[in-house]
Amino acid sequence: MSENHYDLHCHSTCSDGTFSPEELLAHAKEIGLKGISITDHDTIIAYEVAIEEAKRLGLGIISGVEFSAVHKGVSVHTLGYAFDLESESIRKLCERHRTRRANRYRSILELLAKHGMPLEEQELPKGSIGRPHIALAMMEKGYVKNVKEAFRRYLGEGKPCFLRTEVISVEETLDAIHQGGGLAVIAHPHLIKNKKIFDEVLDMGYDGIEGYYARFSLREESPWIELAENRGLIVTGGSDFHGKIKPNNPLGASWVREETFQMLEKHFHNASLS
Ligand code: AMP
Ligand code: ZN
Ligand code: FE
Ligand code: FE
């Protein structure tokens, strides 16, 4: 891999990735990345070990998280970067999500049992439990052939074992990230199909757009980069690596260069001091 690549979007076992934080960092080092941000869904638990481990490996690292925000019923994944890891507002928001997810997890297991697919009430992981974990367990039990089928038939929106949970708004999410001294970025913007919703969300106070995503081509990236430039927003990028849960997103598939990372690193340093 060429030098000076920094992947700012990846998941560990603290949410629905299949690499532990240590394995993720070792993998980043192995493929030649210069640095990383671990953006688990709704949790920053990876950072209990990640900062030290990145230092040991000589990798750059900044704080990161991917919050599951919602605007008018539309999911708006919101990346937070370079916030203070001790921030009360970020920790409180993660705790709300943890409770939301734990409740949903139990209810989904009840629904699955009713549909003839009992799963053992496993020990809840310490981190952030998501539908992909349930999909994997269903696959291991032989109820479905793969994760995609689990979503298509049972867990996806509107399917028999889908459950709505407490909604946490984009406004609350942006407030928490900003109070923690961080920067907020709209993740994989192409997934927000409704233009009106997208425009409303963009006006709510985001600092950046994830213009480089997974295996996007130049043609797919350029409208987002242009939009960010017109709005004076930063452009971030990353692979959305999940290990074997999303085998088509290899680590380092998208990335940012040194200038962007250094700006974020400076921001992280300042947020952590105040
Ligand atoms: P959760 O945050 O628990 O609601 O789970 C959402 C995650 O499930 C997303 O971030 C995706 O990684 C994954 N996901 C959502 N829909 C599908 C699908 N149709 N097939 C596979 N994975 C999906
Ligand atoms: Zn995920
Ligand atoms: Fe996402
Ligand atoms: Fe993600």
Pocket test for ligand 1, best of 16, 70, 99, 149 (most atoms within 8 A of CB): 16
Per-residue pLDDT of 151-161, as tens digits, reads 999 999 999 99
Model-level pTM? 0.94
Amino acid at 164: R
Ligand 3 mean position, distance from CA 28 (Å): 20
d(CA 47, CA 52): 9
Q: Exposure of 180 by Cβ count < 10 A (0-12 exposed, 13-18 middle, 19+ buried)?
A: buried
Q: How far is CA 74 from the centre of its chain?
A: 16
d(CA 97, CA 69): 10
Radius of gyration of the chain (CA): 18
CB under 8 Å to 55, separation ≥6 — which residues?
A: 61
Ligand 2 mean position, distance from CA 53 (Å): 22
Residue whose CA is at the smallest distance from ligand 1 atom 21: 148
Residue whose CA is at the smallest distance from ligand 1 atom 12: 132
Ligand 1 mean position, distance from CA 132 (Å): 6
| pLDDT exceeds cutoff 80 at 36 | yes
Q: List phi, psi (to 5°) of 257.
A: -90, 175
Question: Bridge-partner residues for 80, per DSSP?
Answer: 65, 184
Ligand 1 atom nearest to 104, measured from its CA: 3
Residue 2 confidence class, pLDDT cut points 50, 70, 90: low
If one counts every other C-beta atom within 10 angstroms of the C-beta of residue 119, the result is 15
d(CA 222, CA 167): 32
**Structure tokens that stand for 3 in this block:** 């030098």
d(CA 25, CA 15): 15
| pLDDT exceeds cutoff 80 at 121 | no
Pairing of strands 64-71, 74-81: antiparallel
Pocket residues: Cβ below 6 A from ligand 1 = 41, 68, 130-132, 147-148, 151, 156
Per-residue pLDDT of 212-242, as tens digits, reads 999 998 889 999 999 999 999 999 999 999 9
Amino acid at 124: L
Q: Could you tell me what percent of the chain has a pLDDT over 90? A: 85
